[in-house]
């Protein structure tokens, strides 16, 4: 493969990695089953005249477990604040706050309610026996019971159950129909979120928005832009709804087998709800009914997601490369279990991948080494034929045939490896395990940029070394591009997480070693051939 094609392939592979997520977010078709209006009876806050919406404020109930620090508001029994005690905030100033109602431009609340005459919605004020709950040593669960005022002979308790060592919260309604007539209520679960926060950076955009899963439609994402254009209304036989952001997810998982409706509602200019509503059937006079759901709210760890609900593991979204990315993540995790350091695990995984493609890469490097040896002859042909590109091309092809060199011989190895490299790129970008994971020395967070830009500079240096190992370009424009590329790539990598840069640096070092060894071998063969010819 000549230098120009090599440059194009490198740019092509790198561009795909940078632009893939942006393409998914901006070019993906809107949800095809979405309808123009919200389902009748959708339980959403009504927009106010000023374009905002109201979250009622009641008494606050604090809950502390080994995994969570939570705040429940007596209005609606909403989950208004949720901090993950085992995950640090971005600035390391305390636990990561996943949910909050403290700021209008960073709103994230989980709500539930019942639909029916007099039944408690998320506007209803509940009462509780306490204001502070904590999971005690030796206890595996913690229950918080909220009671709504009895209306029309119907009493309702809303019960939260937190579990030790889990990111799953059980939410149960206990409905007692003490009236003299049957009722047919519905239950709804929804999440409110703004469309401004947790959007990533311009260099590294990430998806934050709604999602749902059904056995029939599988995993679907719903962007806030889509919600703003029209409310989503989807009939489903099963499944869950949720809110996805980089590294974390919250999902309502109804435990009922009843058919349900997924919906979205635009609450204000920047605030949206995504939820599901299920009919509960008839509750006869003098009888009771219990309604269960689970709320998963925590990090996107594959094992926990798979255990929580079918399809929830797809929130770790690798797109069409999932078939490659998931085994890579599995292997990376098992390597980490052995070495106990994610940086070292990345290095070892890169070595294993390079070893797997060693022979394939060698064929491409061998072809490039032959072209390097032929560079003086190619320059001589260019000097001979000048601007007559047709004769120059004919002469070069004749030389390739004589020397038994395929000018496209380096393309296939690169093409085969691109999907694997891109898959690993997304694995490293989306792995919550790398968040705040130290490597050594000055790198305390593999998901953040290198604070001193050492890794990007070293990676740029390896690219410069690679240009000297490649066949020298005969075209002056190509020569300039080859000189600019290491600098340009290094600047890009200044904004990349350290874990990603580490992967590319190690891959480049291994490529340099392999190409240098092959160049020496081919050069020795060429010298021997010349000596034998004499």
> pLDDT, tens digit, for every residue of 209-262?
999 999 999 999 999 999 999 999 999 999 999 999 999 999 999 999 999 999
SS3 174: strand
Residues 9-28: what's their mean pLDDT? 43
Q: What's CA 141's distance to the chain center, in Å?
A: 31
Task: Tell me, yes or no, whether 280 and 348 share the same domain.
Answer: no
Please, are residues 1 and 364 in contact by the beta-carbon 8 Å criterion? yes
Q: With CA atoms as reference, report the closest residue to 81 among 107, 105, 56.
A: 107
pLDDT tens per residue, range 356-396: 888 777 666 666 666 666 667 777 777 777 777 787 777 77
Q: With CA atoms as reference, report the closest residue to 84 among 100, 95, 71, 93.
A: 95
Please, are residues 431 and 305 in contact by the beta-carbon 8 Å criterion? no
pLDDT at residue 474 tops 60: no
Residues 183-202: what's their mean pLDDT? 89
Does the residue 67 lie in any domain?
yes
What pLDDT, on a 0 to 100 scale, did the predictor assign at position 527? 66
Most confident region among 343-347, 429-433, 464-468 by mean pLDDT: 343-347
- CB within 8 Å of 476: residues ≥ 6 apart: none
pLDDT at residue 20 tops 50: no
Q: Which two tokens stand for residue 139?
A: 């206890």
Domain that holds residue 517: 3-18+326-533
Task: Tell me, yes or no, whether 219 and 341 share the same domain.
Answer: no
Signed CA dihedral, 395, 396, 397, 400: sign only: positive
- The domain total for the chain is 2
Task: Tell me, yes or no, whether 91 and 191 share the same domain.
Answer: yes
Q: Which two tokens stand for residue 277?
A: 């509503």
What pLDDT, on a 0 to 100 scale, did the predictor assign at position 354? 87
Report the C-alpha gap between 401 and 398 in whole angstroms.
5
pLDDT tens per residue, range 114-136: 999 889 999 999 999 999 999 99
Residues 419-426: what's their mean pLDDT? 85
Task: Tell me, yes or no, whether 432 and 304 share the same domain.
Answer: no
* Residue 275: φ, ψ to 5°: -155, -175
Task: Tell me, yes or no, whether 99 and 119 share the same domain.
Answer: yes
Most confident region among 28-32, 279-283, 399-403 by mean pLDDT: 279-283
The owner of tokens 């000018």 is: 407
- CB within 8 Å of 50: residues ≥ 6 apart: none
Task: Tell me, yes or no, whether 102 and 35 share the same domain.
Answer: yes
Task: Tell me, yes or no, whether 124 and 148 share the same domain.
Answer: yes
* Residue 235: φ, ψ to 5°: -85, 135
Please, are residues 157 and 112 in contact by the beta-carbon 8 Å criterion? no
CA separation, residue 416 to residues 20, 305, 407, 424, 452 (Å):
18, 31, 17, 14, 34
pLDDT at residue 534 tops 80: no
The partner residues of 81 in beta bridges, in order of sequence, read: 71
Radius of gyration of the chain measured on its C-alpha atoms = 30
Listing DSSP states for 76-102 in one string gives: TT-EEEEEEEEEE-TTSSSEEEEEEEE
Please, are residues 328 and 430 in contact by the beta-carbon 8 Å criterion? no
Listed residues 296, 316, 336: the one ending a domain: 316
Does the residue 218 lie in any domain?
yes
Task: Tell me, yes or no, whether 262 and 397 share the same domain.
Answer: no
pLDDT at residue 183 tops 80: yes
Q: With CA atoms as reference, report the closest residue to 135 among 153, 161, 154, 109.
A: 161
Listed residues 263, 292, 316: the one ending a domain: 316
Residue 37 banded pLDDT, cuts 50, 70, 90:
very low
What pLDDT, on a 0 to 100 scale, did the predictor assign at position 16? 45
The owner of tokens 């953040």 is: 448
**Cα torsion through 274, 279, 280, 285, rounded to 10:** 130
What pLDDT, on a 0 to 100 scale, did the predictor assign at position 385? 75
Does the residue 26 lie in any domain?
no
Report the C-alpha gap between 158 and 113 in whole angstroms.
9
Question: What residue ranges in 164-267 does DSSP mark as E strands?
Answer: 168-177, 186-194, 209-214, 218-222, 233-236, 240-245, 248-254, 260-266
Residues 346-364: what's their mean pLDDT? 85
pLDDT tens per residue, range 54-75: 788 999 999 999 999 999 999 9
Q: With CA atoms as reference, report the closest residue to 212 among 189, 180, 194.
A: 189
Task: Tell me, yes or no, whether 302 and 418 share the same domain.
Answer: no
Q: Which two tokens stand for residue 499?
A: 């874990």
Task: Tell me, yes or no, whether 452 and 350 share the same domain.
Answer: yes
What pLDDT, on a 0 to 100 scale, did the predictor assign at position 319? 76
Please, are residues 85 and 68 in contact by the beta-carbon 8 Å criterion? yes
Residue 327 banded pLDDT, cuts 50, 70, 90:
very high
Task: Tell me, yes or no, whether 447 and 485 share the same domain.
Answer: yes
More confident residue, 326 or 50: 326
Residue 345 banded pLDDT, cuts 50, 70, 90:
very high
Does the residue 321 lie in any domain?
no
Residues 410-427: what's their mean pLDDT? 76
What pLDDT, on a 0 to 100 scale, did the predictor assign at position 29? 37
Mean pLDDT of the chain: 84
Out of 1-15, 266-280, 438-452, which region has the weakest mean confidence (pLDDT)? 1-15
Task: Tell me, yes or no, whether 129 and 235 share the same domain.
Answer: yes
Does the residue 297 lie in any domain?
yes
By residue count, the chain amounts to 534
What pLDDT, on a 0 to 100 scale, did the predictor assign at position 75? 97
Listed residues 316, 344, 363: the one ending a domain: 316
pLDDT at residue 342 tops 60: yes
- 3-class secondary structure for 386-454? CCCHHHHHHHHHHHHHHHCCCCCCCHHHHHHHHHHHHHHHHHHHHCHHHCCCCCCCCCCCCCCECCCCH
**CATH number for position 57:** 2.70.98.90
């Amino acid at each position: 493969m000549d230098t120009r094609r090599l440059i194009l392939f490198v740019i092509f592979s790198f561009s795909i990695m940078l632009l893939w997520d942006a393409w998914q977010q901006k070019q993906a078709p809107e949800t095809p089953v979405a309808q123009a209006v919200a389902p009748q009876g959708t339980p959403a806050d009504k927009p106010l005249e000023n374009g905002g919406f109201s979250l009622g404020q009641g008494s606050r109930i604090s809950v502390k477990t080994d995994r969570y620090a939570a705040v429940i508001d007596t209005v609606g029994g909403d989950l208004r604040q949720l901090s993950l005690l085992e995950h640090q905030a971005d600035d390391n100033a305390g636990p990561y706050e996943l949910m909050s109602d403290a700021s209008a431009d960073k709103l994230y609340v989980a709500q539930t309610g019942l639909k029916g005459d007099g039944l408690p919605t998320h506007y209803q004020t509940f009462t509780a026996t306490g204001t502070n709950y904590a999971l005690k040593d030796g206890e595996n669960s913690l229950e918080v019971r909220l009671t709504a005022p009895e209306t029309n002979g119907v009493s309702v308790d809303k019960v939260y159950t937190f579990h030790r060592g889990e990111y799953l919260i059980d939410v149960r309604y206990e409905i007692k129909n003490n009236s003299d007539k049957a009722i047919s209520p519905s239950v709804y679960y929804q999440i409110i979120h703004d469309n401004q926060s947790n959007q990533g950076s311009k260099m590294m955009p990430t998806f934050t928005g709604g999602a749902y899963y059904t056995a029939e439609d599988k995993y679907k994402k719903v962007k806030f832009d889509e919600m703003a254009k029209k409310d989503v209304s989807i009939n489903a036989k099963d499944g869950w709804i949720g809110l996805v952001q980089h590294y974390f997810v919250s999902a309502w998982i109804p435990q009922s087998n009843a058919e349900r409706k997924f919906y979205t509602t635009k609450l204000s200019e920047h605030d949206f709800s995504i939820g599901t509503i299920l009919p509960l059937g008839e509750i006869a006079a003098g009888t009771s009914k219990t309604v269960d759901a689970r709320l998963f709210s925590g990090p996107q760890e594959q094992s926990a997601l798979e255990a929580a609900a079918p399809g929830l593991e797809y929130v770790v979204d690798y797109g069409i490369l999932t078939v490659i990315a998931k085994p890579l993540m599995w292997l990376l995790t098992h390597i980490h279990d052995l070495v106990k350091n994610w940086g070292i695990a990345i290095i070892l995984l890169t070595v294993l991948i390079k070893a797997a493609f060693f022979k394939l890469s060698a064929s491409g490097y061998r072809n490039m080494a032959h072209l390097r040896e032929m560079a003086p002859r190619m320059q001589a042909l260019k000097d001979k034929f000048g601007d007559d590109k047709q004769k120059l091309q004919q002469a070069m092809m004749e030389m390739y045939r004589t020397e038994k060199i395929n000018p496209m011989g380096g393309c296939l190895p690169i093409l085969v490896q691109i999907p694997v490299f891109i898959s690993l790129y997304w694995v490293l970008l989306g792995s919550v395990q790398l968040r705040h994971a130290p490597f050594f020395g000055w790198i305390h967070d593999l998901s953040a940029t290198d604070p001193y830009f050492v890794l990007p500079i070293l990676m740029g240096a390896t690219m410069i070394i690679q240009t000297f190992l490649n066949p020298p370009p005969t075209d002056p424009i190509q020569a300039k591009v080859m000189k600019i590329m290491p600098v340009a790539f290094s600047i890009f990598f200044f904004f990349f997480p350290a874990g990603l840069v580490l992967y590319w640096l190690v891959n480049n070092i291994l490529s340099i070693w392999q190409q240098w060894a092959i160049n020496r071998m081919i050069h020795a063969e060429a010298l021997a051939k010349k000596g034998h010819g004499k």
